[in-house]
């Protein structure tokens, strides 16, 4: 097992069903990563210790998913010089709009690159992680190109279920 270079953080076990799509996509791209539950609110000391020790263990960027008052990505960005990708998660009374605004509205100087709410955001954060790593890794660039080509090839020209030739 190679050394993890991407860290996927989430605020709760309840976030895993969405954040696993980031992990699955990193697996598809052959990127070693680790997944941890560290809550900005419920486990602040665990979060602080993990994030501040990550760079020296070889982590190159973070993907952080959280819902409701989603401070996980912002708190991570506050503690590290590494890039932080934020994934707002749905749930609660506002169905993800609360976490989108909590994640994206960072003060100047402490950026969080924020993705779509939910599964698409989790997947895209992983693809963007690969694209970011590919800037200094030609082998990773080839993996990203292969991933994109396979994705394109998997799109059918006609929808399954269409009754071709049926009278209007």
Nearer to ligand RP5, 10 or 126 (CB): 10
Q: Is 103 an interacting residue with respect to ligand RP5 (CB under 6 A)?
A: no
Q: Is 17 an interacting residue with respect to ligand RP5 (CB under 6 A)?
A: no
Query: And the tokens for 133?
Result: 């790593």
Residue 93: partners with Cβ closer than 8 Å, 6 or more residues away:
none
Q: Is 14 an interacting residue with respect to ligand RP5 (CB under 6 A)?
A: yes
DSSP assigned state of 84? E
Nearest residue to 51 (alpha-carbon basis) of 68, 63, 69: 63
Among 19, 64, 66, 126, binds ligand RP5 (CB under 6 A): 66
Q: Is 121 an interacting residue with respect to ligand RP5 (CB under 6 A)?
A: no
Rounded to 5 degrees, φ, ψ at 21 are -70, -30
Nearest residue to 65 (alpha-carbon basis) of 111, 24, 5, 123: 123
Residue 150: partners with Cβ closer than 8 Å, 6 or more residues away:
none
Q: Is 15 an interacting residue with respect to ligand RP5 (CB under 6 A)?
A: yes
Nearer to ligand RP5, 41 or 48 (CB): 41
Q: Is 11 an interacting residue with respect to ligand RP5 (CB under 6 A)?
A: yes
Q: Is 91 an interacting residue with respect to ligand RP5 (CB under 6 A)?
A: yes
Binding site for ligand RP5 (CB under 6 A): 11-12, 14-15, 39, 41, 66-68, 89, 91
């Amino acid at each position: 097992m190679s050394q993890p270079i991407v860290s996927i953080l989430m605020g709760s076990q309840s976030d895993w069903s969405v954040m696993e799509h980031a992990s699955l996509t990193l697996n598809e791209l052959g990127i070693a990563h680790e997944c941890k539950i560290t809550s900005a609110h419920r486990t602040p000391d665990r979060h602080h210790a993990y994030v501040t020790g990550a760079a020296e263990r070889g982590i190159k960027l973070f993907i952080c998913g959280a819902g409701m008052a989603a401070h996980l990505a912002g708190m991570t960005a506050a503690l590290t010089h590494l890039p932080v990708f934020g994934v707002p998660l749905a749930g609660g009374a506002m169905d993800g709009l609360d976490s989108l605004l909590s994640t994206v509205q960072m003060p100047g100087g402490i950026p969080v690159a924020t993705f779509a709410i939910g599964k698409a955001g989790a997947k895209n954060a992983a693809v963007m992680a690969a694209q970011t790593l590919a800037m200094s890794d030609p082998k990773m660039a080839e993996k990203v190109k292969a991933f994109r080509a396979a994705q394109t090839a998997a799109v059918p020209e006609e929808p399954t279920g269409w009754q071709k030739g049926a009278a209007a």
